[in-house]
């Protein structure tokens, strides 16, 4: 249910930067003193060789300038996210790429450089792309966090980061086509959600094995995005190619609490990190344009 208008409808462009490849992900560092630092991930398919290439660009921004500090050449990057808490006083960045590899980088001290920490590649002969990732630390900090990753074959993978090494805990098949998105329920990281091109929205609990506890088919197209709200227990937002953002109480997933029609297919959703009241929505208006909007949301059904 939408009850508030976004605080501002006008956006002014302060800086521009032209990337060599297609820019597909931007993530701001959540940790002091680097909250003016962000990473931009890139993806490019070479039509002649079929190779997917990319890079990670590390920027800082002020009111006066946009500064590029580092460029890391990698395989094409499909998703990247910062760990919500520091580990060993490092800000850690998880990166999912087109070579079925999860990589971890660290931003250490005051030196604005990302250092490679560790990686883990899927042991699979098939051409597989890692499509999305999420950290378990959204609500509760951990020195040994888990990371969940979805891939282009419809599988979900759970990793654990321990002593700067990635350990693959388990993998399971979730979707018949691409598993576009996966996400932890931050209030209980035993619970994981995933969405796929088969229009299914699944709920898993590692305490109950790898089979889904529930399978929701309310989305009318591929499920591409989801995000747990750390300020409101039980609330999860999902987005789809069907141009609709939906809000759920995870205790009762038969019907959504409310929905909002968007101007185009949704690609990413993210709750604001401060009040947890507004939802940033990235949606596609045509094949080359990705726009963003704010959705104000409250729910009448957030208590048992």
**pLDDT at site 303:** 34
**pLDDT at site 287:** 43
Per residue in 58-96, pLDDT tens? 999 988 899 999 999 999 999 999 999 999 999 999 999
Identify the band that residue 9 occupies on the pLDDT scale cut at 50, 70 and 90: low
pLDDT, average across residues 128-135: 98
Q: Is this prediction's pTM over 0.75?
A: yes
**pLDDT at site 295:** 58
Q: Which two tokens stand for residue 224?
A: 């591409």
**pLDDT at site 129:** 97
Per residue in 157-202, pLDDT tens? 999 999 999 999 999 999 999 999 999 999 999 999 999 999 999 9
Question: What does the mean pLDDT of the chain come to?
Answer: 91
**pLDDT at site 280:** 93
**pLDDT at site 301:** 38
Per residue in 244-290, pLDDT tens? 999 999 999 999 999 999 999 999 999 999 999 999 999 887 544 44
**pLDDT at site 13:** 86
Residue 290 phi, psi dihedral angles, 5° rounding = -120, 120
**pLDDT at site 302:** 35
Identify the band that residue 152 occupies on the pLDDT scale cut at 50, 70 and 90: very high
**pLDDT at site 286:** 57
- Whether 304 shows a pLDDT value over 50: the answer reads no
Domains annotated for the chain, with CATH where assigned, are 22-217 (2.130.10.10)
**pLDDT at site 233:** 97
**pLDDT at site 173:** 96
Identify the band that residue 126 occupies on the pLDDT scale cut at 50, 70 and 90: confident
């Amino acid at each position: 249910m939408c009850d508030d208008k976004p605080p501002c409808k006008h956006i002014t462009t302060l800086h521009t930067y032209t990337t060599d490849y297609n820019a597909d992900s931007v993530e701001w560092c959540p940790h002091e003193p680097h909250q003016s630092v962000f990473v931009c991930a890139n993806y490019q398919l070479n039509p002649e060789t079929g190779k997917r290439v990319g890079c990670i660009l590390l920027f800082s921004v002020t009111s006066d300038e946009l500064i590029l500090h580092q460029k890391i050449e990698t395989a094409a990057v499909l998703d990247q996210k910062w760990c919500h808490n520091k580990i060993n006083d490092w800000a850690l960045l998880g990166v999912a790429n087109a070579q079925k590899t999860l990589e971890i980088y660290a931003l250490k001290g005051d030196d604005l450089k990302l250092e490679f920490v560790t990686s883990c590649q899927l042991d699979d002969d098939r051409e597989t792309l890692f499509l999305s990732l999420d950290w378990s630390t959204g609500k509760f900090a951990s020195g040994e966090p888990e990371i969940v990753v979805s891939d282009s074959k419809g599988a979900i993978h759970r990793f654990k980061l321990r002593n700067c090494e990635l350990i693959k805990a388990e993998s399971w098949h979730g979707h018949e086509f691409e598993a576009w998105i996966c996400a932890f329920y931050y209030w209980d990281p035993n619970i994981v959600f995933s969405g796929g091109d088969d229009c299914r929205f699944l709920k898993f609990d590692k305490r109950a094995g790898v089979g889904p506890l529930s399978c929701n088919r309310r989305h009318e197209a591929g499920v591409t995005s989801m995000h747990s709200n750390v300020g409101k227990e039980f609330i999860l937002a999902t987005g789809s190619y069907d141009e609709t953002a939906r809000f759920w109480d995870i205790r009762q997933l038969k019907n959504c609490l409310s929905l909002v029609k968007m101007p185009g297919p949704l690609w990413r959703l993210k709750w604001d990190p401060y009040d947890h009241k507004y939802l940033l929505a990235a949606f596609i208006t045509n094949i080359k344009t990705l726009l963003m909007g704010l959705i104000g949301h409250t729910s009448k059904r957030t208590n048992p």
